Structure 1
Amino acid sequence: MSRVAEDRGRTAGARAGAAAPRRRGRPRSAAADSAIVEAVLRLIEDGVPIAELSMERIAREAGVGKATLYRRWPGKSALLLDVMRSQDTPPPPLDGDSVREDLVRLLEFLRHRGLAKRSSAVLRTVVSHVQAQPELWAEYHETVVRARHEALLGVLRRGVASGEIRADQDLDTVADLFVGPMLARAILHEWKELPEGLAEDIVDTVLEGVRPRPATRPANGPMDGPMDGPATGTAPGAE
């Protein structure tokens, strides 16, 4: 083999070695992930503000090294987002037969979340620190809240199509009218009860306000239906 051929062979071998994939490190430990998430939840439930949740404190509470946290998450915000995801459950399946019943299912889902102490603790903490953590709130909204909002909007669009909701309504506003009272009790007024039947009460009240209005008679228009007596002339029995 010529010297040129040998050089080409060595160069090709070096390139192949450089292109070879690097060996992956040890797989993540599910037990460590769970311990870290549980540690954050305990701290939040104990009333520790997000601003005081340092990676060092979380690692100490979880019984792991700080390097273990940083191998999994680049910072506290990414970790908190995963903690919130761990507490999230998808919206319930909807039958699609009754707009009212599907709305009740979605609000009942929120009521049960409000009754769950951990979910409420996480949500209250995030809302109270939204101004200090706007990027965290934006990510939470995109990854958690949006799916629920879209499910609710889907039901409302069906209501418009079926004639149960007026077509001139802004559906984002209508969605807020359904969800707002439940979230206000679950987050802002936690001393208020979330009794059974609350979802039905909210749905029926809002639907009453957004359902199509019956046709009304113009001010100077003809009356609908039969008249009680002759419009003009002699009254009956006066002849």
Structure 2
Amino acid sequence: MVKATRAGPAPARPGQGGERQSVGARRSVASEQAILDAAEALLLEKGYAGFSIEAVARLARAGKPTIYRWWPGKAALLLDVYHRQKREPPPDETAPIEEALVRFLRHLFDFWRTGPAGDIFRAIVAEAQSDPDARRALVAYLAERRAVFTAMIERRRARGETELPPDAALLWDSLIGFAWCRLLAFDLAADDGEIRRYVHQVATGFRPG
């Protein structure tokens, strides 16, 4: 299992310009770092079953009200830990769009397969089926990721790229649907050729005309 690196500050979520959005009052950077460090360490040691806001508060020496003020529930905190572990490489927006999409899916499958992230995300999806707070956190996370993807497509369009999808959000949903189907079915062994065939078929289907 590949353990997540906890050194250094947590990366900003894409599309947030390096500044995190606060659920409650303005966050203390030091306190936020301590809480995320504690949450990540607890998750690596105890797994999802042993993860709780109470345990994070004890390990971080933080008050539960502080955590709940910044994260509305367990799923929201888990999603921040999940994204922190992701360490996505900077996207190469000069690469052909199909190649960029292949790299994205390949990185996502590797990330889910080689560490605890796949189990974490499955657990968040499962919890969202019965917990309204988890559902809201998951929906917000997916909306943010969709917005980042569509913004990338629009930047390419503004540079005059051709053969881009007219509906970038629908293309995103198709890519994520493929990835989620494999994740939830515990089938992350897609090789490079399979990913390339899928991306080519989907991308060409979304091209104008």
What's the TM-score bracket when you normalise by the shorter of the two chains? 0.5 to 0.7
Deviation at 1:86, TM superposition (A): 3.1
Q: For each residue in 1:46-91, what CA deviation from the matched residue of structure 2 results, as whole angstroms up to 9, or x when unmatched?
A: xx2xxx85445x36xx9x4796452651375354344334334346
Range that drifts further, 108-117 or 65-74? 65-74
Q: Residue 190 of structure 1: which of 186, 190, 200 is its match?
A: 186
Matched residue, 1:218 = none
Alignment identity in percent? 23
Distance in 2, Cα, partners of 1:69 & 1:194: 43
Alignment partner, residue 118 of structure 1: 116
Structure 2 gaps, min length 5: 1-29
Deviation at 1:33, TM superposition (A): 5.3
2:163 aligns with 164
The question of whether the paired residues in 2 share the 8 Å contact of 1:84 and 1:122 is answered with yes
The TM-score normalised by the length of structure 1 is 0.56
**Number of the residue aligned with 1:226:** none
Aligned residue pairs total 175
1:231 equivalent in structure 2: none
- Partner AA of 1:104 in structure 2: V
1:126 Cα deviation from its structure 2 partner: 0.4
The answer as to whether partners of 2:53 and 2:67 remain within 8 angstroms in 1 is no
Q: 1:30 and 1:151 mapped to 2: Cα distance?
A: 24
Summarize the Cα distance change of 1:166–1:190 in structure 2 as closer, same or farther, 3 Å threshold: closer
Residue of structure 1 aligned with 2:151, choices 151, 154, 163: 154
RMSD: 3.6
Which is bigger in relative contact order (C-alpha 8 A, separation at least 6)?
Answer: 2
Quote the Cα distance in structure 2 between the aligned partners of 1:166 and 1:88. 26
Counterparts of 1:31-70 in structure 2, within 5 Å, are 34-45=37-48, 48=49, 53-56=51-54, 58=55, 64=58, 68-70=62-64
Return the match for 1:206 from 184, 202, 206.
202
Which of these residues, 84, 106, 109, is aligned with residue 107 of structure 2?
109
